[in-house]
Amino acid sequence: MKRVLVVIIIAGLSLFQSCEKLGVNSTDEKINLDLIKSVLTGAYTEHYGQFHLTKTRSKIDYSHLNLPELDGKFYDTGWQSIARVQFGSDSKGKADYVKVNSSTLDEVILSLDYYNYHSNNINLKFDGTNNLIEWKLAGNSYSTNISTNASDIEFTSPTFMQSINKNQDLTITWSTSSETNDYVYISLQGVLNTDSTATKVGYFQSDIVNDTGSYTIPSSELINFSEAKATLSITRGTYSEETHGNKTYLFVLSSDNAIQIGLN
């Protein structure tokens, strides 16, 4: 599917560039969805640049810190909108600017080979309205849009710090959306106590699944967790893989929610 998405202004002239846009419901969906996992886990991809726009929330129990004054206490981050952008070392220099919905992102130096941009104060839209992304590299200005009509993803079960029997399957349910062009991704990671000497943490990740509102982690996976607590994360979003200036970029827009649960 090809659409005219990019307007480049050079010396007062407007040049329209065709952009190849690969969406979740495209023919190549299953081949490319692994790219989403790379972005969600912070891994570098082969893309010239990757853009991750996310609305995220975490609810964390403090008991694993083994501090009596924090027993029974927890921290809820509330919903926060975050933009993370990364350009690879072949980008021939850092970007002149990166903007999301007219807000300029700050440069963050995390690697000598990669240029990173970040902001915790982006007004992201999840109501079907376009989120405008603009950037400038090597004197060339680019822009594109990404949108989804999917509200914040919320767990309906399990609940925060619910005790889960590892010998039984764990069925996770969540609030679905009417958006047809989206994906869901689930992970479970063990939480170590501060005095733990363990060198390995339990971890499970799902395939990319449809937004049906239900997914089951089998007990055969849960029994591999030795920790008494784990962080359960669920992500819903959409993505596009696009070509701008003969370079390939990956754009991900997602809603991420994480809670901690007990394991016994």
Asked, for residue 38, whether it belongs to a domain, the answer is yes
Q: Give every strand in the sheet of 214-217, ordered side by side.
A: 155-157, 170-174, 214-217
Place 158 in a pLDDT band, splitting at 50, 70 and 90. Answer: very high
Residue 64: the pLDDT is 65
Asked, for residue 154, whether it belongs to a domain, the answer is no
The helix or strand, by DSSP H or E, that contains position 29, with its residue range, turns out to be helix 29-32
Structure tokens at 126: 């999840």
Residue 140: the pLDDT is 92
Residue 194: the pLDDT is 61
* 192-240 tens-digit pLDDT: 766 566 667 899 999 888 899 999 999 999 999 999 999 999 999 988 8
CA torsion 116→147→214→29, rounded to 10°? -80
Enclosing domain of residue 128 = 2-56+79-149+241-254
Asked, for residue 178, whether it belongs to a domain, the answer is no
Q: Which of 5-19, 36-50, 51-65, 156-170 has the highest mean pLDDT?
A: 156-170
Residue 66: the pLDDT is 65
Asked, for residue 7, whether it belongs to a domain, the answer is yes
CA distance 2 to 23: 11
Asked, for residue 90, whether it belongs to a domain, the answer is yes
Asked, for residue 133, whether it belongs to a domain, the answer is yes
Asked, for residue 228, whether it belongs to a domain, the answer is no
* 91-104 tens-digit pLDDT: 555 788 999 999 99
Contact predicate 102/133, CB 8 Å: no
* List of residues 6+ apart from 183 with CB closer than 8 A: 24, 33, 36, 208, 209, 210, 211, 236, 237, 238, 239
Total tally of structural domains belonging to the chain: 1
Fill in the amino acid letter for 148: T
Residue 254: the pLDDT is 92
